[in-house]
Amino acid sequence: MSIGKLSSWGRYPRFPQTGHGIGWRSELPGELARVSAEHGTLLPFGNGRSYGDSCLATSDQVLHLRPLDRFISTDWQTGIIRAEAGVTLDEVLRLAIPRGWFLSVTPGTKFATLGGAVANDVHGKNHHVRGSFGCHVRRFGLVRSDRGRLEVAPGDADGLFAATIGGLGLTGIIDWVELQLMPIKSSLVDVVNIRFDSLDEFFALSRELDGQHEYAVAWIDCAARGASAGRGIYMVGDHAPEGGLAYDDKPKLSVPLVPPISAINSVSLRVFNHFYYNAAKPGRHPGRVGYEPYFYPLDRILHWNRIYGPKGFQQYQCVIPESAGGAAIGDMLDAIAAAHSGSFLAVLKRFGDVASPGLLSFPEAGATLALDFPEHGDATAKLFANLDAIVRAAGGRIYPAKDAHMGGEFFRACYPQWTQLEALRDPALCSRFWKRVTQA
Partner 1 sequence: MKNILIVGATSAIAAACARRWCEGGARFYLVGRSADKLRQVADDLSARGAEVHTCELDLNFLESHASLVREAFAWLGRVDVVLVAHGTLPDQKACEQDAELAIREFTSNGLSVISLLTHLANPMEAQGSGSIGVISSVAGDRGRPSNYLYGSAKSAVTAFCGGLRARLFKAGVNLTTIKPGFVDTPMTRGLPLPAPLVATPEQVAADIAKAMDAGKGVLYTRWFWRYIMLIIIHIPDRIFRKMSM
By the rule CB under 8 A, 73 interacts with partner 1? yes
Positive or negative torsion for Cα 63, 64, 68, 69: positive
Strands 253-254 and 148-152: unpaired
Q: In this chain, which stretch among 52-60, 70-78, 121-129, 412-420 interacts with partner 1, using CB under 8 A?
A: 70-78
Question: What is the Cα 138 distance to its own chain's centre?
Answer: 20
CB of 95 to partner 1, least distance (A): 6
Pairing type for strands 137-144 and 61-64 reads: unpaired
Q: For residues 185 and 141, give the distance between their C-alpha atoms in angstroms, rounded to a whole number.
A: 31
Q: Is 72 in the site for partner 1 (CB under 8 A)?
A: yes
CA separation for the pair 190, 214 (Å, rounded): 10
3 near partner 1, rule: CB under 8 A: yes
Q: Closer to partner 1 at the Cβ: 25 or 402?
A: 25
How far apart CA 368 and CA 364 sit, in angstroms, is: 9
Q: Is 70 in the site for partner 1 (CB under 8 A)?
A: yes
Q: Of the listed pieces 1-9, 51-59, 194-202, 400-408, which binds partner 1 according to CB under 8 A?
A: 1-9
- Nearer to partner 1 by Cβ, of 31 and 156: the residue is 31
* Closest to partner 1 by CB, 23 or 297: 23
Helices first, then strands: H and E counts in the chain: 13, 20
CA distances to 5, 36, 138, 303, 337 from 21, in Å:
12, 14, 27, 21, 43
- Which SS3 state, helix, strand or coil, does residue 102 take? strand
Interaction residues for partner 1, span 92-121 (CB under 8 A): 95
* CB 1 to partner 1: min, Å: 5
From 45-53, 67-75, 185-193, 254-262, give the range in contact with partner 1 by CB under 8 A: 67-75
Contact between 4 and partner 1 per CB under 8 A: yes
Query: Of these, 36, 47, 74, 356, which contacts partner 1 (CB under 8 A)?
Result: 74
Per-position x/- string for 142-161, each x denoting binding to partner 1 as judged by CB under 8 A, each - no binding: --------------------
Q: Which is nearer to partner 1, 47 or 126 (CB)?
A: 47
Per rule CB under 8 A, count of chain residues that contact partner 1: 18
Compute CA 51 distance to the chain's CA centroid, rounded to the nearest angstrom.
Answer: 8
110 close to 89: Cβ distance less than 8 angstroms: yes
Q: What is the spatial distance between Cα 45 and Cα 37, in angstroms, rounded to a whole number? A: 18
Instruction: Compute the least distance from the CB of residue 186 to partner 1, in Å.
Output: 21
DSSP-H helix ranges across 82-169: 89-96, 114-119, 127-130, 160-164
H-only helix segments in 301-350: 327-338
Which residues ranging from 8 to 27 are in contact with partner 1 (CB under 8 A)? 21, 23-26
Q: Please report, for residues 1, 359, 361, the alpha-carbon distance to residue 416 in angstroms, rounded to integers and kept in the order given.
A: 38, 10, 12
Q: Where are the alpha helices (DSSP H) in 98-212?
A: 114-119, 127-130, 160-164, 199-209
Distance in Å, CB of 53 to partner 1, minimum = 24
Contact 130, 359 (CB under 8 A): no
Q: Of 395, 431, 401, whose CA–CA distance to 414 is shortest?
A: 395
How far apart are the C-alpha atoms of 217 and 433, rounded to whole Å? 28
Task: Quickly count: other Cβ atoms within 10 Å of residue 46's Cβ.
Answer: 29
Q: Considering the complex, state which of residue 95 and residue 354 has its C-beta at the smaller distance from partner 1.
A: 95
Q: Which is closer to partner 1, CB of 73 or CB of 419?
A: 73
The minimum distance between CB 94 and partner 1, in angstroms, equals: 9
Cβ proximity to partner 1: between 94 and 376 the closer is: 94
Of 1 and 298, which has the nearer Cβ to partner 1? 1
The one among 6, 32, 65, 81 contacting partner 1 by CB under 8 A: 81
Give the shortest CB-148-to-partner 1 separation in angstroms.
Answer: 17
Closer to partner 1 by Cβ: residue 74 or 431: 74
Q: Which stretch binds partner 1 (CB under 8 A): 7-15, 73-81, 112-120, 281-289?
A: 73-81
1 binds partner 1 (CB under 8 A): yes
Nearest to 89 by CA among 73, 101, 77: 101
Q: Least Å distance between CB 296 and partner 1? A: 20
Residues near partner 1 (CB under 8 A) are: 1-4, 21, 23-26, 67, 70-74, 81, 83, 95
